[in-house]
Amino acid sequence: MQRFSHFRLAILTALVGIILSLGISAFLYIQDNQRIRSQLSNDVTELQQEVNRQLQTHMFGLTWMARHSTRNQGDHNLWQREAPIVINSYPHFRCLLWLNSQFELESLYSTIAQPSVDQLLADQDYLDSLRGLEPGQRVMLPAGPLALNSADVALIAPLNTSQGTDYYLGIIDIEGLLRSTVARHMGRHVYFRLTSVSSNSTVFELGNNDDASQSWSGFSEFTLFDEQWRMELWPGQDQLQAMRSWVPLLIMLAGLITTALLTFVLYVLGISRVRAQELADTNIDLYVEIEERERVEKKMAYLAEHDWLTDLANRNALMERLEEFFSQSALTQQHVGALFIDLDNFKEVNDALGHSVGDQLLKRVATRLNKIAPKHACLARMGGDEYVLAIACLNDPEELENYARQVLSALDTHFYVDDYEMFISASIGIALSQPEIDTPESLIRNADTALYRAKESGRNSYHLYSEILHHELNQRMELMKRLRNAVEHDKLRVYYQPKVDMQSRRIIGAEALVRWQESDGQIIGPDQFIPIAEDTGLIIPISEFVLKTACKQLAAWHTLGFTELTMAVNLSGKQLQSPGLIEHIMEVVNESGIPPNKLELELTEQVFIENIQSHTNFMHAVRERGIALAIDDFGIGYSSLSYLKHFPVTALKIDRSFVQDLPNDKDDATLTQTIINLAKSLEIDLVAEGVETEAQVDFLLDRDCSVGQGYLFSRPIPAHEFTQLLDDYQGQIPIQIM
C-alpha cells in the first residue's frame, strides 16, 4: 500500500482519463443513436407522405375518369379510350372497373389476364361494403377477389347518375407501388412494413422481420381514405453501420492515448520519487539496523554468560569462573567445591500449575540461593530445575557439606507464587576438587554423579562424591551396556517357579521369571538388572519377551496333558503407559492358543496406586477378557486398602518379608493374619511367597492360606526341568526337592 501511494496521481490520472474518454464516447454514441433514430423517423415520414401522394394521385386519376364518364352519360367507348391513358399515366393500376347501381359490369380494362369479375359480383359481402358507400366518397378497400396479391387494394369512387350510383374501381398493385417508392427514396439496404391498424394485418412487408436492426425502426401512423395505417421503416446492418458516425470511436481512442501518455509521464515521476524515498529510507534503516545489531550483540554477549530466566550465570560462564577458581586454588593450595542442586518433584509443579508458575518458582529459588552464596562463589543454572553452586577457597569437605545443609534449610521454607503456597526440597550432589587431578568438567561431572546417589537415598538430602561412587557408576554403565546387548542378542531366559497347593502338594501353576545368563555361564540376578531396565526403558521389550515365551510354554504343558496349570507373568509400570497394551496381550494369548483364564498378570502394589484412573480402566479391561489379576508383594507398598475394593483383583501375593520369619515372629504373624483375613473378607485368592519350611506351611494352612511359592517346593528352574518335574511326579511336589 505504501508503494501504491507514490503512484497515486498516475493511477488517478489513468482512472479519470479512462472514465472521461469512455463517458464522452458513450455520450457521443448515444447522441449518434438519437440522430439515427431521428433520421429514420424523418425518412419514414417522407416515405409515408410519398406513398400517400402516390395513392392520392391514383385516386385523382380514377376520379377524373369516373367524372368524365358520368358527364358523358356513361359512354362506354369513351371509357375504353381513356382507360389506357389513365393506366399509362398511373402505372400501378392493374385494372379499371365500372359497375352500375345494380352491380353489373359496365366496362372493364385490365393490363393482366381477365380478372375474376364474376367472383367479385358473386361476393355479396364485398358488394354490401360497396353499397354502404356514399356518392362522392373516396375509399380504399382490399381488392378482394380481384387481387393477384394479398396486398392489392381497390380505390373506389362512387358517383351519382340518373339511374342511381355507379361505382368506379381501380385495382392498385400496392406491392409494386411500395417497392418502387421505397427503393427510389430509401435505397436497397432498408426494410419496410405497412400495417392496417384497424384490422391489425400487414398489408406489405419488405425485408426480414427477425433482423436484429429492427429495434431501430422508425414508424408513422396516418389516415388515408378513412383508413388508419401504420408504416414502419428500419435499416439493415450494413445500412446501419453506414449511418453511424466515427466520431465517438475516434474520441475514445484519442482520450485513451492521451491518458496513457499522461499516466506514463506521472508514473516516471512517481518512480523517481519512490527511488528518492527508498534511498532515504535505506539510510534510516541502515542506522536503525546498526543500532539494533549493537543491541543484539550486547544481548547475545549477556546471554552467552547468563541464564535467560533467572539472570544467573549459565554453563559457559560457570566453566570460565571455575577456571579462575582452579587457578586461585593452585596458588593458595586450597580446594574448589561444587554443589549440584536438583529440585525434587519439580515436574509435578509444572504439570499441576503450569509452566508459567514453574518459571516463577525457579526465579524465586535462584533468588534464595543467591542470598546464601558465599563471597568467593558462582551460582549458575544448568537448565531445567538444576543449579550449581561453585565455591572457591575451601580447606576441607566439611565446609562444603555445611553449605549443602544451608541450601536444604533455605529451600525448606515455603514459597509464594501468585496465589499458591508451595513447599519444595532438593537433592544435592557434592564434589571437592583434588589438586592437579580434577578439572572444571570433571568436578561438575563428579557432583552430578553424587546427585544421582542423593536421589536414590530418598531425596531432600546430599551426598559427597567418592571414588567408590565413581566405581559403582562405571559398573552401572557397563551393566547397562551389557544388558542392552543381552536384549538384542537373546541372552535372556525365562525360568519358572511352581505355585503349589500346599495341602495336596500339587503344582497348580507357575510364575515366569526372567534370568540373564551370559555366554560364559555367569548368571546376573534380576535385582541387579531389573532396576536398570526400568530406568532405560528396556523393561518393555524384556516384559514382552517374557509374556510371549511364558504363554507358548504354558500351551506346550497343556498339550502334554497338564491343562489345569496357570501362568503368572509380571507387568511393569512402564508397560501400562504403552497404548494398546490390552490388545497386544490378547494377541499373544490368541497366538499361543491358551485359555485367557489360565493367564494371571501380576503388578506391584505401587504400580496399582499410580495413576489410579487409567490403571483401573486397564484392570477392568483385563478382567472382562477373563485374565486373572494379582497384586505382587502385597503389604510393603502404599497399603492403600481403601482402593482395594475398587480394583478387580483376583489374588493377593503375601510378600516373602512377612513369611520368612513365620511362625516365630509375632509381628509378621499378626500382619500375615491381617492380610489373610482381608483377602477372605473380600473373597480374593491368596498366594504366600518365600515359603521355605514346613512350619511356615503349617502356619499358613491353619489360617486357610493354601497356595504357596518358595524354595521349599522349588527354585525357579528352566522350562525343560519344570517339564521333567511335572512328568516325574505327575504334577506333584515331593517333600524334599530343594
Nine-digit cell at 265? 509521464
- Tell me, letter by letter, the H, E, C secondary structure of 324-335: HHHHHHHHHCCE
pLDDT tens digit string along 624-651? 899 998 888 776 655 456 666 667 888 8
Cβ contact 542:486 at 8 Å: no
Which amino acid is it at 204?
A: F
Give the CA angle between residues 726, 732, 733 to the nearest 5°.
Answer: 100
- The residue assigned the cell 425485408 is 207
When mean pLDDT is compared across 268-272, 333-337, 637-641, 681-685, the lowest value belongs to 637-641
Give the CA angle between residues 179, 182, 188 to the nearest 5°.
Answer: 90
Give the pLDDT score at 271: 80
Give the pLDDT score at 35: 84
Query: Strand runs (DSSP E) across 638-732, as ranges?
Result: 651-654, 685-688, 707-708
**Residue 14 and residue 632: Cα distance in Å, rounded?**
89
**Residue 367 and residue 389: Cα distance in Å, rounded?**
13
Confidence of residue 470 (pLDDT cuts 50, 70, 90): low
Give the pLDDT score at 210: 47
Give the pLDDT score at 595: 93
pLDDT tens digit string along 293-330? 888 877 777 777 788 888 888 888 888 888 888 888 88
Query: Strand runs (DSSP E) across 307-385, as ranges?
Result: 335-343, 377-383
**Residue 698 and residue 48: Cα distance in Å, rounded?**
142
Contacts of 487 (CB under 8 A, 6+ apart): 538, 541, 542, 545
How much of the chain exceeds pLDDT 70, in percent? Answer: 90
pLDDT higher at 377 or 478: 377
The rounded radius of gyration (Å) of the Cα atoms in the chain is 62
pLDDT tens digit string along 284-294? 888 888 888 88
**Residue 132 and residue 720: Cα distance in Å, rounded?**
141
Q: What are phi and psi of 567, to 5 degrees?
A: -130, 125
- Give Cα separations from 349 to 246, 343, 416, 419 (angstroms): 87, 11, 13, 14
Buried b (16+ CB within 10 A) or exposed e, 656-668: bebbbebbeeeeb
Cβ contact 689:699 at 8 Å: no
pLDDT tens digit string along 526-581? 777 777 777 777 888 888 888 999 999 999 999 998 999 999 998 887 787 778 88
How confident is the prediction for the chain on average, in pLDDT? 82
Residue 532 burial (CB count, 10 A)? 17
**Residue 619 and residue 335: Cα distance in Å, rounded?**
56
CA–centroid distance for 688 within its chain: 58
Cis peptide before 397 (omega within 30 of 0): no
Give the pLDDT score at 113: 65
pLDDT higher at 458 or 264: 264
Give the pLDDT score at 453: 81
When mean pLDDT is compared across 190-204, 206-220, 376-390, 426-440, the lowest value belongs to 206-220
Nine-digit cell at 289? 539496523
pLDDT tens digit string along 7-54? 777 788 888 888 888 888 888 888 888 888 888 788 888 888 888 888
Q: What are phi and psi of 350, to 5 degrees?
A: -60, -45
**Residue 614 and residue 576: Cα distance in Å, rounded?**
9
- The residue assigned the cell 359497375 is 99
pLDDT at 737 over 60: no
pLDDT tens digit string along 326-379? 888 888 888 889 999 999 888 888 877 888 888 898 889 889 988 888 888 899
Cβ contact 432:450 at 8 Å: no
Cβ contact 473:452 at 8 Å: yes
Nine-digit cell at 407? 541450601
Cβ contact 547:489 at 8 Å: no
Confidence of residue 738 (pLDDT cuts 50, 70, 90): very low
Average pLDDT over residues 692-698: 90
pLDDT at 225 over 60: no
Element at 217 (helix H, strand E): none
pLDDT tens digit string along 144-164? 788 777 677 888 889 888 778
- Start-to-end CA distance of the chain, whole Å, equals 93
Give the pLDDT score at 556: 93
pLDDT tens digit string along 496-533? 999 999 998 999 999 999 888 777 767 777 777 777 77
